Structure 1
């Protein structure tokens, strides 16, 4: 499906959690002075204008990054996240732009690291390709990210982070995503896999996550934030990251982060979870 555009949702509460945790994973991975690869299966456009019709139509960023933008009493992980968003806005006080996952990674890459980015939407691919044109450390591919993932692992560095962030536009995405991760893990068992997931239908989401839990893969961590109780009404009530092989101490950083986000972004009746679903 090619109708999904992340510009409608850029900077919302789910992006805040996803990108804060992505930055923490990179920070912890960089404690080892060895090269690594970042592989993104659904990279998007790379960056988004919060003043354009997509963001203004939904205004979702107002309940996400906008609520943290001017705060000065945040935990370290969120301080680093907001600093990168500010850098993407060229240090200006007005919040006008929001970086996508590849832009966050680009701001924190070392010379020895590289990126492999997959994006199938033609317009978003063109924007992403233009952003990284001429950068030999970044490969941008116009292909299905789940299929591309199998060709991208294991990376030559033998160290890496894989972000799987699909649109979930169709129900089969939930099964295909879990199956793709299980297959990729067999080829790259030491990699860190970060699966972003929404909660629109709790049973559907848990079915996907249970498939991963029952796969035999060890070290699976849930990091989830709900802003309101689960509901059968239309709309996302929660979002989370399912992290396989998280770097040491990510769970501690995640707990501090979600506790703060719960206080700042909860819409009433929400909760947060940081839990090892499968341990060693």
Structure 2
């Protein structure tokens, strides 16, 4: 695997992914029972935006840096995201926090994070990032296999009854990644049907994405929600036009938490023809 997220840290896809992730974590924190987070493709935890990888692409300029410059007094989910990034940057100025660092900041004393990263250099950086936090465990292993191995979660003899699994693979070969994602979802749901799953996916060619979403809709789950952000029209086969989050078993009325933020992101980050989508593929009656 040649992918390095440092080239893309803080771009529009990270903005959507981490805004939705933080909203999911806040919903979990709304109940007293502890929760477990599994990050299957965790990366290194911190990404210096002034370093060569990020500077080479400049993608953060169209994502987090543009949002911070606009300093919008926007919807709660957007403000929450910007505050979480600012809090991380107060400790690591100039860095963009990856998902495991954002999750770690949201954990309570009894909550737990298992962050998986297969690349040795990235895994070592992640261990250094989360060092000293006993709530967080870094695994240098295949994240897909971890779904089957680590669900349902346990802390010693104690079973943790709530779980969120973030599946955020690199999609080096987009079509080849979807069967792996679907297999991991099926295995995770078989082991823990009540768990929540959040799957990030790029939007490059809509035709390649449609079969994946159709197959996901056939899974035996209570509810499926899709949240997408397009920063340009969906007609360029050479660029990532946007991205989406497939949410399996999201919290009740979760769409209402993030709905106001999506048009704000379109306005702040989008080019002509940008748009968003928030749609229930399946919804269990409340």
> TM-score of the superposition, structure 2-length normalised?
0.93
Tell me the CA shift for residue 248 of structure 1. 2.1
- 1:48-197 aligned at under 5 Å gives the runs 48-70=47-69, 71-90=71-90, 96-155=94-153, 156-170=159-173, 171-197=175-201
SS in 2 for 1:48: strand
Distance 1:88 1:206, change over 3 A: same
Task: Give yes or no for the alignment of 1:245 onto 2:249.
Answer: yes
Tell me the CA shift for residue 202 of structure 1. 1.2
Q: How far apart in 2 are the matches of 1:230 and 1:178? A: 24
Tell me the CA shift for residue 183 of structure 1. 1.7
Tell me the CA shift for residue 271 of structure 1. 1.2
Counterpart among 185, 202, 208 of residue 206 in structure 2: 202
Structure 1 unaligned segments of length 5 or more: list them.
none
SS in 2 for 1:110: coil
Q: Deviations over 1:164-223 (max 9, x none)?
A: 000011232111111211221111111110000001121212211211111232300000
Q: How far apart in 1 are the matches of 2:178 and 2:62? A: 26
Structure 2 unaligned segments of length 5 or more: list them.
154-158
Given that 2:49 and 2:95 are in contact with CA atoms closer than 8 Å, whether structure 1 keeps it comes out as yes
Given that 1:192 and 1:246 are in contact with CA atoms closer than 8 Å, whether structure 2 keeps it comes out as yes
Given that 2:147 and 2:187 are in contact with CA atoms closer than 8 Å, whether structure 1 keeps it comes out as no
Task: Give yes or no for the alignment of 1:211 onto 2:209.
Answer: no
Given that 1:37 and 1:114 are in contact with CA atoms closer than 8 Å, whether structure 2 keeps it comes out as yes
| Runs of 4 or more consecutive aligned structure 1 residues displaced over 6 Å after TM superposition | none
SS in 1 for 2:202: strand
SS in 2 for 1:69: helix
Given that 1:28 and 1:248 are in contact with CA atoms closer than 8 Å, whether structure 2 keeps it comes out as no
Q: How far apart in 2 are the matches of 1:225 and 1:237? A: 9
> TM-score of the superposition, structure 1-length normalised?
0.95
Q: How far apart in 2 are the matches of 1:232 and 1:59? A: 19
CA root-mean-square deviation: 1.4
